[in-house]
Structure formats: C-alpha cells, structure tokens
Amino acid sequence: VRGGEEVKRVREGNVLNAKAKGKTREGAEEQLTTGDLLSNRRMFYLLKGAFPAVQINSEERVDTADQETVSWDHSIPEDIKQKIQPKEVPAESVTVWIDPLDATQEYTEDLRQYVTTMVCVAVNGKPVIGVIHKPFSSYTAWAMVDGGSNVKARSSYNEKTPRIIVSRSHAGKVEQVARQTFGNKTVIIPAGGAGYKVLALLDVPEKNQEEADVYIHVTYIKKWDICAGNAVLRALGGHMTTLTGEEISYTGSDGNEGGLIASINMNHKALIEKLPDLEKTSHK
C-alpha cells in the first residue's frame, strides 16, 4: 500500500519520466518510471527497517545513497489479526520478493486497472505469504498458506471452454494452441500485469477486473512478478507451476525459465497434459 501511494501520486501528477531500462528476451523495450523507483524505495526500506536480517529481492536496484527512513511499528490491523495464524521461522530461511510496480508498460499507457504493487514471502523457497495491491482502486488481496486470507476463489468454472488470461503480447501465440486444445469456444483474454492476471482467477470485488479460469505465460518471467500470486493461489488450494508442472522455487536466480500455468478449483494436472506444445516456446 505504501508503494502504491507513490505509484498513484506519480501517475496522477503525470511526472512519470519514463525511459527504457533495457530489452526483454523477446526484444520488447522495458520501461522504467519515477513511479517504479519511488515505490521501490518506499517498499524496500520499510521492509529492511522492520526485518534487517531478511533477504529482500526487488525488481529495481536500490541506491544506497538514496536511502529513506520508513518505519513500521509492528502493529497489525485488527481485521488481519482476526484471520491469521502467526508462525515463527528462522530469518535465514526467508526470502522476500517485491514488485514495486507491476505492469509498467500499461502504467505508461495509463491503463491503470492492470497496475499492482506486490510483496511475497517465501520460506525455504516456497511462497507462503502473498499480497497484491491495486493502487488506483485501493483494493488489496492477501493470503497466507495455512494462515488465513481476505480473498477466495471464484466458484464457477467451465473446464471444457475455459477463459484463458495471457499477456497482451502473447495472445496470438497462445490462442492458436488453446483453441486446438480446448475447442473454438475458448476465450482468450489479453491483459497486463501478472498480479492482475492472478486476481482474475479469484472472487475479487472490482468493477474493472476481468474473470478467467486459467492464467498462462509462455516465456521467461521474473520471480517478483509471480511469487505473490503463487502464494495466494497456494493458500487457497490453487496451483501455479511451470508449463510442465514443476513447482517454482523462490530462491537462487531471479528468473523462471519454464513459463507458467495457474489455476484454481480445476484439475491442474489435466490442464498441463492438455497443453504440451506451449512449453517449447517458454525458453525463447
């Protein structure tokens, strides 16, 4: 939420100062804005100040000359206290992944509904706490594996003609295989932001949030993009795996090579078996 305040303030003030920070493996330009940097600074130093012994991995580089004192008094809101079952774990087993601004490209295009800020806590590489916040509507979804949540899965699904949510740039690539697999009635939903796509699988009280049954990504993706959503899905009994069904470990390198498929209240293994052709494209 603190990061989201910066994201919203920069966008509403129209002081993005967007610039290219490099290219993706697919050759698309990656954007960096003032919103990314200020949100990152706020989120990183708040977490580092509260938990100095914990490793924090963030999408943006932290400039030590640009430190910010952001404090948290360790008080937990009452509505969250009533839902969670606290657990203690060794600090060295924890890795925190933060995405200070998910869907930067859409942010620069003023497609605000796709933008989220995310935090994930992994313990021994397994995602256990996920928080996905939408700065422009102030909606926050969170969940903790075996510990509570404020969100739930949607109850209506159709495995025969699923609605598949994919990246805007991948829609054509996925559509052909999806229609071959599930039939011509399959609906492909192009969308921005990994956080938004996970929320599409859930029962979210948001007017401009699309609904989907399956989330598929067919190329390399960074772990800060997907860790929070993975934790939320795990906590609710859902799944997020590579396209071949392998669990994703949130230690080590910051990238996931095997693409991903995410679902909830569906037969995840059967979905993977239906989509054998997509994995071949995930390393490109």
Tokens of 31: 């954007």
254 annotated as a binding-site residue: no
Cβ neighbours around 84 below 10 Å, total: 16
Q: Which amino acid is at 108?
A: T
Write down the catalytic residue from 33, 34, 36, 116: 36
* Residue 36 a catalytic site member: yes
Please check if 68 is assigned to a binding site. no
Q: Is 101 labelled as part of a ligand binding site?
A: yes
Measured CA to CA, the distance from residue 161 to residue 217 in angstroms comes to 18
What is the edge-to-edge ordering of all strands in the sheet holding 163-167? 187-191, 163-167, 214-217, 260-263, 239-241
- For residue 90, list its beta bridge partners: none
Q: Which of 33, 95, 104, 219 is catalytic?
A: 104
Half-sphere exposure of 234 toward its Cβ, with a 13 Å CA cutoff?
A: 23
Helix (H) / strand (E) element for 163: namely strand 163-167
* Residue 268 φ then ψ, to 5°: -65, -40
Active site residue 104: yes
102 is in an annotated binding site: yes
79 is in an annotated binding site: no
* Binding site, annotated residues: 59, 99, 101-102, 225
* Binding site, annotated residues for Mg(2+): 59, 99, 101-102, 225
Looking at the annotation, which residues are catalytic? 36, 104
